[in-house]
Amino acid sequence: MQPDTPTPHVFPTARRPGELLFAMLFLGLSVLLLAQIGWQTQWLPGKGLAAQPRTWPFIGLAGMVLFGALHLLATRRVRRTPGRWAEALVWVRSLEFVAWYLAYVFSVPYLGYLPATLIFCVSLTWRCGYRGRFALVSAAGFGLGVVLFFRTALAAKIPGGAIYELLPAPLNSFFLTYF
């Protein structure tokens, strides 16, 4: 492992664990996004270059490809330090939280915004290791606050849960409107 120096340097003499893998993934993603710019944006006739919807995304993606390639070249030239796959494993493990979020998003139409948010907040708090009563009640309070802010105060358009159909008519209407 490379010793950390207190001052950053422009031209490093060793690469950190996972840096080469990051450089390769970043360049690959940048090239993939740049290759799709023709399908995802338009070229409007009669508009100036700066007003074209394709111009600024192209400039941004071209910069990502250029600097990603330079970073990859610079990373390949320096001494390798062990631990690349341990770093990659940390990145893969972080995908668990993407799965948590996707489960939350897919559960909202079935459970409803309020129950799904409460379950998500409390479960994620439990998963992160905060298992005391105060932490779990705080998580539930946070979830309730989020629902009240977005659904009740801002009237955000969030689909009502299928489980709300099981409630009696007055409660059904109330929950569909505010929760």
The answer on pLDDT for 70 being more than 80 is yes
Q: pLDDT for 45-58, tens place per residue?
A: 888 888 888 999 99
Q: What is the pLDDT of residue 157?
A: 84
Q: What is the pLDDT of residue 179?
A: 81
The answer on pLDDT for 9 being more than 70 is no
CA angle 164–107–154, rounded 5-degree value: 70
- Cα separation of 146 and 130, whole Å? 20
Q: Which residues pair with 64 in a beta bridge?
A: none
pTM for the complete prediction?
0.59
CA-closest candidate to residue 177, choices 162, 141, 160: 160
Long-range contacts of 11-17 (CB under 8 A, 24+ apart): 11/74, 12/74, 12/78, 13/78, 13/79, 14/78, 14/79, 14/80, 14/81, 15/75, 15/78, 15/79, 15/80, 15/81, 16/81, 16/87, 17/81, 17/82, 17/83, 17/84, 17/86, 17/87
